[in-house]
Structure 1
Amino acid sequence: MKKSRILGIAVGATLAMGLSASALATDGYQLIGIGQYAVGMAGAVVAAPDDPLSAAMSNPAGLALMTPQAAFSAEIFNPVRKTNLGFGEIGSHSNVYGVPAIGWVAPAFAKNWVFGGGVYGTSGLGVNYLQNLGSAGYAQASSSITFMQMAPSVAWKVNSHLAVGASLNIAAEQASFQQTFTEYFPTGLPSPYPSAVPVTGGLNLASPSWAYGVGATLGVLYKVNDMVTLGATYKSPIMFTPLTWQAGTQNGPGGATGTAGQYSGHLNYPQQVALGLAIRPIPQWLISVEGQWINWRATMNDFTIYGPWNGPSYVQLPMHWSNQWVANFGTQYDVNNWLQVRAGYTWGSNPISNNTIASNLIFPAIVQNAITFGATQKLGMGWKLTEAYMHEFSNTNTGPAGSSPFGGPMPASATMYENSYGLQVGYDF
């Protein structure tokens, strides 16, 4: 196989780098909730935020109903991913990540106004695949993306029924990607010279790059009566500055080639809408349901890379994500004055189809069903402890025959399941 053909296959039929800020939880690459109360409720907190973290992430209007307090959450996130590049299933070598978060709320400048917010993020999420292609060579596909966000918020309790709030979403993301093929290219040189000289080509943007973005969240809570509360949230897109990489020669899709220099691309965060309903059949029992729409198609349809390409000024890597619908269900029961227990279930439509999985193998955000459990203990003197566990059930996407990005005999596929374990400490001032 000639060198030019090898390099063309390496990226021309590429994994198309399913670029995302993190392959997290049910909601594409978005966590189902920030903080362990929200995780234990399976993210169903738009109509029932209970601490600064769940409010800052899901509905800032909830801050207006809270006493001054602070919360710190630490979560161990364990996504297990496998892929088939056409030559047999392999696993990723990066499976454990930390998810920290901190939130607060305090009185603001006038009666019934509060100031609060949160700082939260993920660290080091990505994949690292190495596929041995036998005597032909090997393929390497890796990614590492960090997404962090700060959400200073204000909220106003308009009256005994209505609260409104807004957050400024200030975000930073770091990204690096590599998708290369190394061929044991025969030279034909006589002994004692080596019979094969490795030749590597593909898309290699492995130097980490930072980008910064801003967006906003608007939220409202309406208490119909002591039993029923309605909630709604709109999150604007977070628009980021370009990610930039200083990189060597590149081999892009469709046979595109580029020289050494600066490459760049935008990776924005999608707008979304959430509506929620919280019901208390009895004072100690809470039932919360929520529906979300996430506009992935606007940000994850194509990823455009600008740079010193030979010919065009940019190339596009197709990912073709669909918009996502998410349904969250959570319930909480106050066992006594110091113990609360909760559980939840969340389902999200898959933004990646079987027909497009070969273009999204680096970030297989394909899990759809999760169950969660949690509890809170009120320890006295303002302290409380909250724990949560989440399990995302395994899901597999398999492409059609001939979808292997490297011409292998098997179709491309991705499998993923997840667990998370979290602990949160809160203090009421």
Structure 2
Amino acid sequence: MKKTKILGCAVAAAIAAAAFSGSAFATNGYQLIGIGQYAVGMGGAVVAAPDDPLSAAISNPAGLALMHPQAAFSAQVFNPTRKTNMGFGEIGSHSNVYGIPAIGWVAPAFGDGIVFGGGVYGTSGLGVNYLQNVPANPRGFPYGGYAQAYSSITFIQMAPSIAMKVNDHLAVGASLNIAAEQGSFQQTLTQFAPATVIQPGVGQVNTVVPVSSGLNLSTPSWAYGVGLTIGALYKVNDMVTLGATYKSPMIFTPLTFQAGTQSAQLPDGSPVQGASGQYSGRLNYPQQIALGIAIRPISRWLVSIEGQWINWHNTLNNFNIYGPWQGTGVVPLGLHWQNQWVANFGTQYDVNNWLQVRAGYTWGSNPVPNTSAAIAANTIFPAIVQNAITFGATQKLGMGWKLTEAYMHAFSNTMTGAPGSAPFALGDPQQAASSTLAENSYGLQVGYDF
């Protein structure tokens, strides 16, 4: 009874923490390379070598069938560095520290060889917060102004899972992916313009007032979706294990926004205006496939290699925004994301009976094409890093307790468009759209074997 209460409190805490955590964590597009610090330390290469409920329920639920009853709680600090040029020189984002919680468990159920597990996770996200003052100048800003770009995408996922050990070689499993996503977006330009106002007791007064244009859907909106993960592990022999998973698309309800007047561009480049009212857009999560092989050259040494395919093109080629647009009911924002290929490599060595050390490397093709249109459109979606290294360790503390740490560094990547391509270049031929992203994360995980 006491263990059940403790686990229930931990789940509630994880849900609350995920709901209020920031949303700028990404590596493969806007998906984390791994859930939990074991997976991070292995560079995300765990589809053939899951080792705890966190890495199994998300990456390959079949791994749950091979685990003793246990629970794990992970806390990760994510620190991205982002820069862009909106048309007035390069500027950095004003938010750069985020928390990512996760909790998972596994226990016997329904008979010999069948287990139930799962968890609650912050699985992916993306976000920037740019604000740049524009001083008064003769190039369209005689009274000055400011540019603002903001995005926030957060995914919180529950993954109740069931797994079965079919025989000494084969294990299979499935997870029901139940998720909530929060989204909000803004990319606006505000200019100060002369105006005459009436002040009580004074009369007419000449002043300047802010006049904004652009897309402003910055009030957070929530949507809810569901999908499925199926996985299998096949132990060829004591040295080699194969793993495979398929994640279906996660279909979400629409994000809805009550917003003021809007302005955007149609695919042919012509401007379009929107009246005040309700706007909506559907942001689904992509289907993906992962295949892996885990090799133990000796009993103490594990090498894991994994390949992934992520179907971003079907979800973020266009982001359709429905609403009271003039002359049309929908404006497709062309983000132009393409499908992504990912390669993960991880290795672990058991130093002794209580210490394991590990390291990993991940490479992913860039989902954002190297074109000026795509770079400009993704100023607030800069998911462009391609190379990351990871390090981690686990200490077995005795009495069922273990402690796991991990560090990740994603190397900086910069994309720059043609001169004049910045979102608010306003005819300045020198202002090119650009995005720069680098990432660091630091994580700690506590596990307990029942």
- TM-score interval for Structure 1 and Structure 2 normalised by the shorter chain: over 0.9
Quote how far apart the aligned CAs of 1:24 are: 3.3
What is the CA–CA distance in structure 1 between the aligned matches of 2:172 and 2:344, rounded to whole Å? Answer: 22
Q: Distance in 2 between matches of 1:366 and 1:65?
A: 36
| Residues 1:392 and 2:410 are matched in the alignment | yes
| 1:405-416 superposed matches below 5 A | 405-407=423-425, 408=428, 409-416=430-437
Equivalents in 2 of 1:288, 1:95: separation in Å? 31
Asked if the contact 1:354/1:400 (under 8 Å) is kept, the reply is no
The structure 1 segments of at least 4 consecutive aligned residues displaced by more than 4 Å after TM superposition are: 122-125
Equivalent residue number for residue 250 of structure 2: 238
Give the one of 150, 157, 161 matched to 1:142. 150
**Partner of residue 332 from structure 1, selected from 348, 359, 366:** 348
Q: Which secondary structure does the structure 1 equivalent of 2:397 belong to? A: strand
TM alignment of 1:1-400, pairs within 5 A: 24-121=25-122, 126-135=127-136, 136=141, 137-187=145-195, 193-194=205-206, 196-253=208-265, 254-355=270-371, 356-400=374-418
Is residue 123–residue 157 contact of structure 2 (8 Å, CA) maintained in 1? no
TM-score w.r.t. the length of structure 1 is: 0.92
| CA shift in 2, pair 1:324/1:171, >3 Å | same
Whole-Å separation in 2 of the counterparts to 1:122 and 1:223: 28
Higher relative contact order (CA 8 A, sep 6+): 1
Residue 428 of structure 1: aligned partner: 449
- The CA deviation string for residues 204-261 of structure 1, in whole angstroms up to 9 with x for no partner, is 1121111000000000000000000000000000000000011111112132111111
Deviation of 1:163 (Å): 0.3
Q: Matched residues in 2 for 1:22 and 1:96: separation? A: 9
Q: Do 1:92 and 1:129's aligned partners in 2 also have CA atoms closer than 8 Å?
A: yes
SS of structure 1 residue aligned to 2:285: coil
Over 3 Å counting, the alpha-carbon distance change for 1:363 and 1:294 in structure 2 is same
Does the Cα contact within 8 Å between 1:86 and 1:404 map onto a contact in 2? yes
SS of equivalent residue, structure 1 residue 42 = coil
CA distance in 2, matches of 1:25, 1:247: 28
Contact 2:24 2:125 in 1 (8 A): no
Measure, in 1, the Cα distance between the counterparts of 2:129 and 2:238: 51
SS in structure 2 of the partner of residue 231 of structure 1: strand
Q: Which amino acid aligns with 2:407?
A: Y
* C-alpha distance in 1 between matches for 2:326 and 2:100: 41
1:122–1:155 distance in 2 versus 1, CA, 3 Å: closer
Structure 1 counterpart of 2:303, one-letter code: I
Extract unaligned runs of 5+ from structure 2: 1-21, 198-202
RMSD: 1.7
Q: What is the alpha-carbon distance in structure 1 between the residues aligned to residue 424 and residue 205 of structure 2?
A: 29
**Long gaps (5+) in structure 1:** 1-20
Does the aligned pair in 2 maintain the 1:73–1:422 contact within 8 Å? yes
- 1-side partners of 2:250 and 2:400: how far apart? 36
Q: Which moved more, 1:157-166 or 1:133-142?
A: 133-142
- In structure 2, C-alpha distance between the alignment counterparts of 1:124 and 1:45, rounded to whole Å: 21
CA distance in 2, matches of 1:123, 1:235: 15
How far apart in 2 are the matches of 1:374 and 1:123?
21
CA contact (8 A) 1:22 1:363 kept: no
The one of 422, 426, 434 aligned to 1:404 = 422
Secondary structure, counterpart of 1:213 in structure 2: strand
Deviations 1:123-170 (A, max 9, x none): 985211112333222211112222100000000100000000000000
Partner SS, residue 64 of structure 2: helix
Cα shift at 1:23: 5.0
Does the 8 A contact of 2:35 with 2:123 survive in 1?
A: no
The AA in structure 2 aligned to 1:140 is Q
Tell me the alpha carbon deviations over residues 236-294 of structure 1, each in whole angstroms, 9 at most, x when there is no partner: 00000000011111112132111111110100000000000000000000000000000
Helix, strand or coil at the partner of 1:399:
strand
Change (3 A) 1:124 1:240: closer
Shift of 1:22: 5.5
Q: Secondary structure at the match of 1:252?
A: strand
